[in-house]
Amino acid sequence: MEEIKRINDRRLDATLSSDFVAVIVSEIRKTRAPAFRLHVVGDFYSVEYVEKWIEIANELTKVAFFGSTRSWRCEFLSKVMKKFRDLPNVFIKASVDATDNLDPFSCGWRVWSVEGVGLPCPHDYGLVESCSACKRCWTVKDLNMNFRLRWGKKSEYLTPRLF
């Protein structure tokens, strides 16, 4: 647990550095990947941080940036998140689950939901071999996706506990 905290602290520090944009652009270019998944762990935490990702996406216009965010609910990030989301090469959706009280659709967001609304993720439901065989998440903006709950029981999920 302590090692994970140390790693995440190091990642946070990297996002605060003045060369973050240049480093990330360079690292993504090295991969030559057509798509880049944002925040497998973590999320957008400040206007300045989102603006860095806007710079990165504008620099790498041939790379599709995709993922989900729970930051769509943060009033102080709303405007800049929509600016980022609306870039032509960005495919970011509101992350929602049964614990959400806000309606992402009334805020103009498409969703990645856990056992909720949207088309079932073909890979998650075993319909395709891999995400790269499907590509929906980084090629279709006007789409809601539904993912399976991967841990615990739904009843436990609705009353989360850390330990």
pLDDT digits (tens, 9 = 90+) for 63-99: 999 999 999 999 999 999 999 999 999 999 999 877 7
Residue 66 placed within a domain: yes
Q: Which residue range is the domain that position 124 belongs to? A: 2-158
Residue 83 placed within a domain: yes
Residue 148 placed within a domain: yes
Residue 124 placed within a domain: yes
Residue 106 placed within a domain: yes
Beta bridge partners of 147: 114
Query: For the segment 91-146, what is each residue's pLDDT rounded down to a tens digit?
Result: 999 998 777 788 898 889 999 988 788 999 999 888 999 989 999 999 999 999 99
Residue 11 placed within a domain: yes
Secondary structure (DSSP) of 6-31: HHHHHHHHHHHSTTHHHHHHHHHHHH
Cβ contacts of residue 142 below 8 Å, gap of 6+?
110
Name residue 145's amino acid. Answer: M
Residue 163 placed within a domain: no
Total domain count, the chain:
1
Residue 33 placed within a domain: yes
Q: What is the distance between the terminal CA atoms of the chain, rounded to a whole angstrom?
A: 12
